């Protein structure tokens, strides 16, 4: 089945795959070819693509998903390959977000923005630490 991952900046991934595991608001799901149609919300976490026996991990910060029997379309806020994540920078961003949450009082919108940033950085760190040093399948971007 075809998997397309698109962010506001660019198309991150477009290729035929065997399966994909996604973090959704209702829990983690694995989509195989001929899956029933589905629309859902992505939450920050790990996308794990399986293709010809190889695993391709990506960190996602949220978005929307559409599943059709022959295609999965992910409209992601951000999506990064493990190789693109610099662990030290992600850790610094996580610390800054945690400090902001504890240092001041915020209105609801500001708090939600900072909490979302923290959740994104935690997802990036989890993915990069889990897959550090593993062999990668070269991902073709369109």
Reported as a single tens digit per residue, the pLDDT across 107-126 is 777 777 777 777 887 787 78
Domain containing residue 105: 1-142
What total of structural domains would you count in the chain? 1
Helices (H), 7-107: 87-103
Overall pTM surpassing 0.75 (yes/no):
no
Res 106: pLDDT = 67
CATH number at residue 53: 2.60.15.10
The total number of residues shown for the chain amounts to: 142
pLDDT greater than 80 at residue 132:
no
User: Cβ(69)–Cβ(38) under 8 Å?
Assistant: no
């Amino acid at each position: 089945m075809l998997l397309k991952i698109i962010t506001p900046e660019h198309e991150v991934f477009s290729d035929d795959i065997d399966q994909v595991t996604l973090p959704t608001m209702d829990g983690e799901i694995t989509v195989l070819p001929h899956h029933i149609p589905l629309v859902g919300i992505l939450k920050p976490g790990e996308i794990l693509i399986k293709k010809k026996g190889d695993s391709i991990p990506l960190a996602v910060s949220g978005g929307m998903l559409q599943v059709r029997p022959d295609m999965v379309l992910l409209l992601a806020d951000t999506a990064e390959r493990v190789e693109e994540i610099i662990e030290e920078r992600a850790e610094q961003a996580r610390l800054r977000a945690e400090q902001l949450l504890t240092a001041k009082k915020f209105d609801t919108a500001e708090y939600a923005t900072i909490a979302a940033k923290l959740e994104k950085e935690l997802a990036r760190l989890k993915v990069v630490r889990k897959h550090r040093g593993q062999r990668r399948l070269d991902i073709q971007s369109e």
